[in-house]
Amino acid sequence: MDSEDTHEPPYRLEKQIGFKLRLANQKHLEIFAKMMPDVTPTQFAVLAKLLDEDTISQNQLGRLVGMDAATTKGVVDRLRAKGLVRRTKSTSDMRRLDISLTPEGRAFASQAVRTASGISEVTAANLNRRELERLLDLLDKL
């Protein structure tokens, strides 16, 4: 047996899942910035979730979009400054802050989710429908 056969193949950065995910994410973020320049992907996630949930606590909102409390607060503050969301004290728990869309925020978010569908299409343009479904299923497994 040749001694080279017992060695592991060399580490190749370009073959690593993290590297490939980062490149794919970079491509997606470039497309997102070009097609939806007024908000960041994180801000969009908050707006889209508020379209679904109407009014929700700031903590729950953060959990639903995968952000910690400090990040959620910063995103909400920036969206408030843009006039897209409002923050009110909960009527049922004075320690809780409820977040909802303003009328301007609802109109913006409604348009933004349509734009986001186009962003997803452009991002996955090199995949057929079956490949895209498989990729999404595999990403869910991670």
pLDDT digits (tens, 9 = 90+) for 118-133: 999 999 999 999 999 9
Q: Residue 21 and residue 18: Cα distance in Å, rounded?
A: 5
The pLDDT of residue 91: 82
pLDDT band at 5 (very low <50, low <70, confident <90, very high): low
Q: Which domains does the chain have, with CATH numbers?
A: 15-141 (1.10.10.10)
**CA dist 85 → 37, 51, 79, 89, 108 (Å):** 18, 11, 6, 14, 11
Percent of the chain beyond pLDDT 70?
A: 96
pLDDT digits (tens, 9 = 90+) for 13-40: 999 999 999 999 999 999 999 999 999 9
Considering the entire predicted model, what is its pTM?
0.85
